Structure 1
Amino acid sequence: MLKNSEAIDSADAHFHPGDEAMLSSLQRDTFDYFVKETNPENGLVADRDHEGAPASIAAVGMALTAYPVGVARGYLSRAEARARTLTTLRFFWQLPQGTREDCSGHRGFFYHFLDMHTARRVWNCELSTIDTAILIAGALTAACYFDEPDGEETEIRELADALYRRVDWRWAENGGETVALGWKPRSRFLKYRWHGYDESIIMHVLGLASPTHPLSLHAYHAYLRSFRWRTVEDQQYLHADPLFIHQLSHIWIDFRGIQDDFMRGHGIDYFENSRRATYAQRAYAIRNPNGFVGYGENCWGITASDGPGPAQRRIHGVRRRFYDYLARGIPDGPDDGTLSPWAAATSLPFAPEIVLPALRHFHDIGLRAACPYGFTSSFNPTFGVGCGHRAGWIAPETIAINQGPMALMIENYRSDFLWTLMRRCKPIVDGLRIAGFSGGWLDDGSGS
């Protein structure tokens, strides 16, 4: 199996002259979602690019993370990014917290979806532990980047710290071994908990390092005990079906060379684990056990996504069932022929040698032309057989939390910008150390 350095060397061999321009254009278009789909009065970011969509607090966290990248790439001036960030953080700090149903959050957490103008809870949604963690990760990214001594940048750091300190992570354990996914004013804590490998490492790291209401170390150890090591498509790795799980925490944390107890026991790090998961995705698409149209070595990416269903159709003599939004994955599914270009793109730092050819293919079949913000979120060639478009069915909406990982992980591939920045983030560094991570940059003095 390829090691990290070998993967980089292999990527160089597969890099085409037009790839840098392709990545630059894709990243810029993707970043523009957070410019054009944000309410400038309060910093709230629409969950989807359609009229009337509510804000996603995770999308706000990704926007706060993206603004420094925009400055580094020349998309925004520092002053513009600072103004956007300050507007957002001031707004969130002033939002009402409490158990009343018209509040925006409780105990430092925020509801998953908020009205784009009033920031009040919508859709009877839950107070979300992971989405709040992503919001806080974005605030802390801003605090690391805006490090000048002037009044506005000082205020950014103070607000980010205040928002972080207000989150009561221990409360979210609710007396159990692990952390609850969420809470509602009437029914209280959801019955589901963070159990099994998932996207919540960033949440655990931030929770462990809290100076006010820290997550118990017992909760992280219980979380690790729920992990499942598995062989999928000849790849041995810590398994999770949807590809996004292997990507999300990596936006902010450079896992190269650092290990916790679980990874020390298996002799790899989470970066290498994600590389293996990426290779397994491509191998699954090549094998194509369900015989879907379009799958292949350069056409893969199965993750949480919109789909063309719910529907059933007979296609080429086979009765197929199609789903709408669902956490798709491999090898256990669900898999209905729906692929997500953003999922492949977000794996760019792990396996550029197989991601770059996939991105070229997605470009060639018209998935850039179908979306104003880079690639369309998802498509299904099987459902769209006979429609006249090589991609088949194409998702009609763009989703913010698809755009963020794509723009931000392209940057980590191109420059290590966020990974280098977040090595100076004390909550990240402290949380990793409390969780038992060691090695690499944590031990060589390059962390805070």
Structure 2
Amino acid sequence: MRRPLSVEIDLDRAPTDAELGRLQFTTLLYYLHETNPDNGLVRDKTEPNAPVSIAALGMALATIPVVVERGVIIREFAAKITRKRLRYLLECPQGPEPDASGYKGFFYHFLDIETGRRVWQCELSTIDSAFLFAGALTVATYFDRDTADEAEIRQIANSLYERADWNWARNGEATLTHGWRPENGFIPYRWRGYDEGLLLYILGLGSPSHPLPPESYVAYTSSYQWRKIYDRELLYCGPLFTHQLSHMWVDFRGIRDAFMRERQSDYFENSRQATFVQQEYAVRNPREFVGYGEHCWGFTASDGPGWCKRTIDGVEREFFDYIARGVPYGPDDGTVSPWVVLASLPFAPEIVIPTVRHFSVMPLGAHRLYGFKPSFNRTFEVEGSPTGWWVSPYHFGIDQGPVVLMIENYRTGLLWNIMRRCQPMLRGLRQAGFSGGWL
């Protein structure tokens, strides 16, 4: 039997700085608790024996300025932790061998947390490597003092970034491939059309050693889809995380490329519109999933109940495991992700704050270690569970970073201000044709 949720709470009250700080801190603890102290590698998720996620490792690096500025770890010790982590990564074996850590400067998606070598015959991932490089450039820019540790951080981080051969990753065409495997070569998918790949191209264009040509960015944007959804015009991509991850590092307010100049918008405003589309979809709830509404939305790449079908109240429902959920065109199986709502805090606080307050009175662990559980599904009943419905049993490293970094950008703009001083990022933005505003 489904359990009602009827706790009264002032949904519209703005969160205090202390409240945001507590949520940010508990979420941040993931990167302190789920890290191998011997080498600085970070688990993909809290499942026992989980491997390293290269993307989560990049996000962990990017949170280090937050850790320092919020007084969690003093700067000198944070610098030593950062230096050790970067040094280990630089020394990880690169080559065509199937058990290396990476090739051509890029890294495999998942690595063994003890040896740093490839696991599961996973792909050499261009996008996950990009998140790693973004994290490395964050600490290279932040640690700017004239000390031995901070100088070495800058040197190693830049070496990691500069050895990536972006033009090799194009495999003879303008756009970047998703990746490569030593067993069968390049993956037959490419980064084209709006998504989190925006950061990938900015970093590739900004490389001082193997820069992408400007035509690569033109090719990436050539298949953009500008749509009108619920009376809102925006550059479409269904999963909400795609409108957030590049924004963790880049303040897109007021800066525009050719595409956005033509439409008198920018990528920040576009993410704002995408956030409202997510809420409106939940209010309309066309597939009548349990719980959706004004204060219950957030559809993105996330864990799910599993690959199965169930007949519920006479309707056959299909459910998924980890998949990129999106709106309004799907896939959608009733799974909602609180973390992705929090990561939209800078874009649309007026709808994010009431939604987060609603989630905070649900049994989703808001005030426990690592913060909100990453996803739940009230349509998928689970007999004997504390809630009566499915809640993800794990936390994921790539979900924690967006919460920490976007709360900080909302509070102080810390990451945005740091990356305004990052020369490769500035060079990449200009090569992509961005101008105006702070740029």
Q: Which amino acid aligns with 1:78?
A: R
Q: Offset at 1:168? A: 0.3
Q: What per-residue deviation string (whole Å, max 9, x for no partner) do you get for residues 186-240 of structure 1?
A: 2110000001111011111111011111112111100010100011222210000
8 Å contact 1:365–1:391 — kept in the other structure?
Answer: no
Tell me the residue number matched to 2:3. Answer: none
Q: What per-residue deviation string (whole Å, max 9, x for no partner) do you get for residues 155-190 of structure 1?
A: 000001111110000111111121000001121100
Equivalent runs, 1:235-250 vs 2, <5 Å: 235-250=232-247
- Distance, in Å, in 1 between the alignment partners of 2:70 and 2:351 is 25
Tell me the residue number matched to 2:294. Answer: 297
Tell me the residue number matched to 1:46. Answer: 43
> More displaced, 380-389 or 226-235?
380-389
Tell me the residue number matched to 2:393. Answer: 396
- Figure out how many residues of one structure are paired with residues of the other and give that number: 430
- Distance, in Å, in 1 between the alignment partners of 2:14 and 2:333 is 35
- Distance, in Å, in 2 between the alignment partners of 1:387 and 1:301 is 26
Equivalent runs, 1:34-433 vs 2, <5 Å: 34-368=31-365, 372-384=369-381, 392-433=389-430
Report sequence identity in percent: 56
Q: What per-residue deviation string (whole Å, max 9, x for no partner) do you get for residues 356-390 of structure 1?
A: 00110111112125962000010001112776756
- Tell me: CA distance 1:153–1:428, structure 2 relative to 1, closer, same or farther (3 Å): same
- Distance, in Å, in 2 between the alignment partners of 1:384 and 1:312 is 13
8 Å contact 1:362–1:368 — kept in the other structure?
Answer: no
- Distance, in Å, in 2 between the alignment partners of 1:18 and 1:182 is 41
- Distance, in Å, in 2 between the alignment partners of 1:385 and 1:298 is 23
Q: Which amino acid aligns with 1:274?
A: S
8 Å contact 2:145–2:151 — kept in the other structure?
Answer: yes
Q: What per-residue deviation string (whole Å, max 9, x for no partner) do you get for residues 246-302 of structure 1?
A: 000000000000000111111100000000000000000000000000001010000
Q: What per-residue deviation string (whole Å, max 9, x for no partner) do you get for residues 292-318 of structure 1?
A: 000010100000001102122222222
8 Å contact 1:380–1:393 — kept in the other structure?
Answer: yes
- Tell me: CA distance 1:245–1:18, structure 2 relative to 1, closer, same or farther (3 Å): closer
8 Å contact 1:230–1:239 — kept in the other structure?
Answer: yes
2:379 is paired with a residue whose SS is: coil
Note the aligned Cα RMSD (angstroms). 1.6
1:197 is paired with a residue whose SS is: coil
8 Å contact 2:23–2:367 — kept in the other structure?
Answer: no
1:118 is paired with a residue whose SS is: coil
- Tell me: CA distance 1:429–1:369, structure 2 relative to 1, closer, same or farther (3 Å): closer
- Distance, in Å, in 1 between the alignment partners of 2:330 and 2:412 is 34
Q: Offset at 1:20? A: 3.0
Tell me the residue number matched to 1:23. Answer: 20
1:292 is paired with a residue whose SS is: coil
Tell me the residue number matched to 1:438. Answer: 435
- Distance, in Å, in 2 between the alignment partners of 1:321 and 1:370 is 32
Q: What per-residue deviation string (whole Å, max 9, x for no partner) do you get for residues 105-163 of structure 1?
A: 11100101000010110010111101111101101100111111011100000001111
Q: Which amino acid aligns with 2:271?
A: S
Q: Offset at 1:19? A: 4.0
Tell me the residue number matched to 1:446. Answer: none
8 Å contact 1:258–1:439 — kept in the other structure?
Answer: yes
- Distance, in Å, in 1 between the alignment partners of 2:14 and 2:274 is 27
* Alignment gaps of 5+ in structure 2: 1-9
TM norm structure 1: 0.93
Tell me the residue number matched to 1:9. Answer: none
2:59 is paired with a residue whose SS is: helix
TM norm structure 2: 0.95
- Distance, in Å, in 1 between the alignment partners of 2:325 and 2:394 is 18
* Alignment gaps of 5+ in structure 1: 1-12, 443-448
- Distance, in Å, in 2 between the alignment partners of 1:388 and 1:114 is 33
8 Å contact 1:40–1:84 — kept in the other structure?
Answer: no
> More displaced, 77-86 or 340-349?
77-86
